[in-house]
Amino acid sequence: MDSKTRASLRRTALLDLQTRLLRAQAQQFTTSAVGLMGLPANVAASPKVTVYDCQNTTSIPGKAIEHPEKSKDGAVRATFDNTTGVASFFKDVFGRNSLDDAGMTLRSSVHYGEGYNNAFWNGSQMTYGDGDGEIFIELCKGSDVVAHELMHGVTQYTLQLVYENESGGLNESLSDVFGSMFRQWLNKETVDSADWLIGADILGTKAKSLGYDCLRNMADPESPKCLGRQISHYDQYRTGMDPHESSGVANLAFYKIAMALKGHSWDEAGQVWYNVVSTWGSSPNMTMQQFADATLHSAQALYPKKPAVAAAVHEGWDSVGLRPTVAYAGRKAMAS
């Protein structure tokens, strides 16, 4: 790895640490606000999508872009199109009106920093780096990446998962799951025709030349072709593990459940996942076992006449070391 790439990765890592702290503060504020005043009433029938240009600085949001849907800047147009697509996906598939389900504006900034190899949800908006061209290209050009980051916003307004330990792994997994579902929905793919890769569309020339084909692989979390390899069984989990690594357990469970059910990932499997996200309530320290139990409960509640759905959920989680049960106290047991 050359010195330029190493320097870019160091800058990215330092900025990412501060972003995590900022997002944690924003989530605490949301938790307090929702606890005091409840979820907001609809402020718009559908979310407005806005895009800003940081002009390779770290000043957020940057310069407002008028008519981003017509922009000749590829990053601006990709951000607008993908964000608009995600809003439609949540509305059409799950009946959700933006991240807060109340029509909040979806604000994004592009061209963040110099050679910034990441994208992030900071608690109030999305931000995308251009990549260094070696490891990543513009991150906004990955439809699953855009949906992944926006899903962090949905989680902030629903389960409110703390970004550490098992709840952190679940937080990351939810973003991968819904990011992958969106990419498949956009491409009209079935579970059998999808590649289940996360970040395949944003790899740079150096990463590809080294044999990498994605950031993560939901079907094979430990694949050596992943830039960010993950664990694939709960036995491998250790307290304090980075959420991007531990999320492989829940990712693989969803993949196996969706494959068993066939068709589209956003049908039964996706509906079960979304039902837990949208109805279970604030569960900041939710464990993977509790989430597995909640999905089995949800599968039985949503599809009482389709026992194959609950069976697939049970077998999928069992295969990654988390055998779910419906003998479960429910949402109050998770809120702590």
Q: Are 307 and 235 found together in one domain? A: yes
* Structure confidence at residue 52 as a pLDDT band (50, 70, 90): very high
Q: Are 148 and 285 found together in one domain? A: no
Last residue within a domain, chosen from 127, 157, 187:
157
CB 286 within 8 Å of CB 209: no
Segment among 17-21, 57-61, 154-158, 193-197 with least mean pLDDT? 17-21
Residue 203: CATH number of its domain: 1.10.390.10
Q: Are 81 and 228 found together in one domain? A: no
Last residue within a domain, chosen from 100, 130, 157:
157
| Per-residue model confidence (pLDDT) at position 219 | 98
Structure tokens at 262: 């066939």
For residues 77-94, average pLDDT: 98
| Per-residue model confidence (pLDDT) at position 143 | 98
* Structure confidence at residue 334 as a pLDDT band (50, 70, 90): very low
| 295 burial via Cβ count (<10 Å: 0-12, 13-18, 19+) | buried
Last residue within a domain, chosen from 157, 185, 220:
157
**Which amino acid makes up residue 128?**
Y
CB 23 within 8 Å of CB 152: yes
Q: Are 193 and 296 found together in one domain? A: yes
Structural domain including 324 reads 165-334
CB 108 within 8 Å of CB 73: no
Give catalytic residue positions.
149, 244
CB 212 within 8 Å of CB 197: no
> Which residue from 83, 96, 79, 149 is spatially nearest to 266, judged by alpha carbons?
96
Question: Which tops the pLDDT comparison, 11 or 97?
Answer: 97
Residue 110: CATH number of its domain: 3.10.170.10
Q: How far is CA 240 from the centre of its chain?
A: 20
d(CA 333, CA 331): 5
pLDDT above 90 covers a percentage of the chain that reads 83
* Structure confidence at residue 221 as a pLDDT band (50, 70, 90): very high
Q: Are 142 and 172 found together in one domain? A: no
CB 173 within 8 Å of CB 151: no
d(CA 193, CA 289): 30
Tally of structural domains, the chain: 2
| Per-residue model confidence (pLDDT) at position 328 | 39
